[in-house]
Copies of this chain bind each other. A is one copy, B any other.
Amino acid sequence: MKNQPSGHTGRHFLQIPGPTNVPDRVLHAIAFPTIDHRGPEFADVGKEIVAGMRRVFQTDGTVVVYPSSGTGAWEAALVNTLSPGDRVLMFETGHFATLWRQMATRLGLDIEFVPGDWRHGVDPAQVAEKLTISSLASIDYRHDEWGVDVTVAGSQKGLMLPPGLGFNAVSDKALAASKNAKLTRSYWDWAAMQETGQTGFFPYTPATNLLFGLREALKMLLEEEGLDAVFVRHARHAEATRRAVTGWGLEVLCAEPREHSNSLTAVLVPDGYDADRVREIILDGFDMSLGTGLGKMKGKIFRIGHLGHFNDLMLCGTLCGVEMGLHRAGIPHRGGGVAAALEYLGAA
């Protein structure tokens, strides 16, 4: 009988940097009947979620939850803290920094953009606002201890939810400053949102069912696995992935080991090869989605998401898919990537 690819049966491998694989329990929670967002049962949901998100952000400050994408939460961070014409220094560290620059310009801010090579991060000491879109609930992130003013996050990464919720963690200092910020705002206004932690209610209709899912995801992260174990797991999977990349003789995009991401790994393909063709072959042949290179990295890298609801064997399947895809796409590489990862993961 002929040896053929398997087609699309079994589970899809969703290994983009987000959305991530959503646990069945969270999907089931989202599918519960919608309730009255002004009623007593909902108030408990609202309060529980804000309390849980404070633990995830490691903050005693204000947490705001929007029915929005993560992009909306970025916009909220800007419009609540800045005034028209404010001068903003931005460091080019990747595609999202570029997008944020567009957003800031549209909102009437005066941007000074410091170009970078996208392969090195920025000295954290220089940056007042830190983006954590991808990493929240995947790495040890300490909003208060690190003195962060505003943290921005979306639901579809480490929080293991579908997209549709945006978050701001806001320091008291930032909250005070927002009273003098003059950018117009209504939907994103922290003033209207900041009571949810006390009352459990929102100033306008929240995304009720996604909040059901968030409650379940927080239970899994905080009460069952525990955040510390979550962080260890992500570090472990990131290390195994980097060993696989090295095993293939390829390069990880991020050049500084101390800046390596524990939630995703961007893999450079050799000059003259198309990373998106690799992704296409892997999607068609092995039903796995990988992340494309964004902006000027398009075609030069593919990104492997290894965050969220994930485990060793899912990672192994992922890396096997990449190794076979490199082979099918004719990318020059060595075959030992999976073996290197197995050696690391299989150690007792």
Please encode chain A, from 1 to 28, with 1 for each CB lying within 8 Å of some chain B CB and 0 for all others: 1111111111111101011111011011
Q: Which of B71, B207, B320 contacts A162 (CB 8 A)?
A: B207
B311 touches A324 (CB 8 A): no
Residue count of chain A within 8 Å CB distance of chain B: 107
Interface residue? A38 (CB, 8 A): yes
Query: Which A positions have Cβ atoms within 8 angstroms of B?
Result: 1-14, 16, 18-22, 24-25, 27-28, 30-39, 67-72, 75, 84, 102-103, 106-108, 154, 156, 162-164, 183-187, 189, 204-210, 220, 225, 229-233, 235-237, 239, 283, 285-289, 292, 309-314, 316-318, 320-321, 323-324, 327-328, 335, 338-339, 342, 344-348
B3 touches A39 (CB 8 A): no
Chain B: minimal CB distance from A338 (Å): 6
Find chain B residues with CB under 8 A from A309 CB.
9-11
Q: Which of B67, B237, B287 contacts A69 (CB 8 A)?
A: B67
Q: Which of B2, B39, B70, B187 contacts A205 (CB 8 A)?
A: B70
A289 touches B28 (CB 8 A): no
Find chain B residues with CB under 8 A from A189 CB.
106
